[in-house]
Amino acid sequence: MTARDELARWVASLQVTGAPLVRVEGWQFATLDPAKSRRAAVLILFGAREGLPHSSPPQPGPDDVDLLFVMRASSLAHHPGQVAFPGGTIDAEDMDEGAAALREAREETGVDSDGIEILGALPEVGLPVSNFMVTPVLAWWTEQSPVHAVDTAESELVFRCAVSTLLDPSRRRTAVVRRNGFVSRTPAFLTPDAVVWGFTALLLDAIFDGLGWTRPWDRSQEIPAPL
């Protein structure tokens, strides 16, 4: 079974069971206010790994795919300098979460959304620090296009990272933040471009676990979160 098929089957199974994607306890510094929260969507875009030999299968397995990330500008009020998936607030004009995620990805990275296949929406996850209810949208990059940081006031860097790198146990850590007596721990991934931690790493960790791709790693290896 190809990586794309595994992704499609898994997201379909979640839509049937309605199981939560991410646990809510142990990492949040605040409590989400449902009455005031806003809705957002992020695009989790898998595709054939950049630089993959042309002789490789057209529908690669997990070790032959990568993911698209953005690094948020350090001047932003929320999550400055952190690695994230492309995404943002769902506007009234957006048809659904998938449309919002595609629009935001196009605005942030310049990706041609016509070359992206939406596989499905994952369960919403609350992000109390910015008071968002976030829908992760799983997608497959069918026709790849160049990407770059369209607006450096929003995103300082756009990059792709191989899933095999993210799954490498030697590159996995637990990121720790201590604040006002509360300790937050999230997974962390050491990539060649940046450390992925916090909300984005929680989503990644849940996705890899759900797909059965996770390789055993030492959660006791802690690092300070790169705030």
Cα–Cα dist 159/199, whole Å = 18
Q: Does 29 have pLDDT greater than 90?
A: no
pLDDT tens, residue by residue, 165-217 = 999 999 999 999 887 778 889 999 999 999 999 999 999 999 999 999 999 99
Taking Cα atoms as reference points, which of 109, 62, 61 lies closest to residue 84? 109
Are residues 140 and 117 in contact, defined by beta-carbon separation less than 8 angstroms?
yes
Where do the domains of the chain lie, and which CATH numbers do they carry? 3-164 (3.90.79.10)
Percent of the chain residues topping a pLDDT of 90: 66
pLDDT tens, residue by residue, 88-123 = 999 999 999 999 999 999 999 999 999 999 999 999
Per the prediction, the chain carries an average pLDDT of 89
Q: Three-state SS string across 32-51, please?
A: CCCCCCEEEEEEEEEEECCC
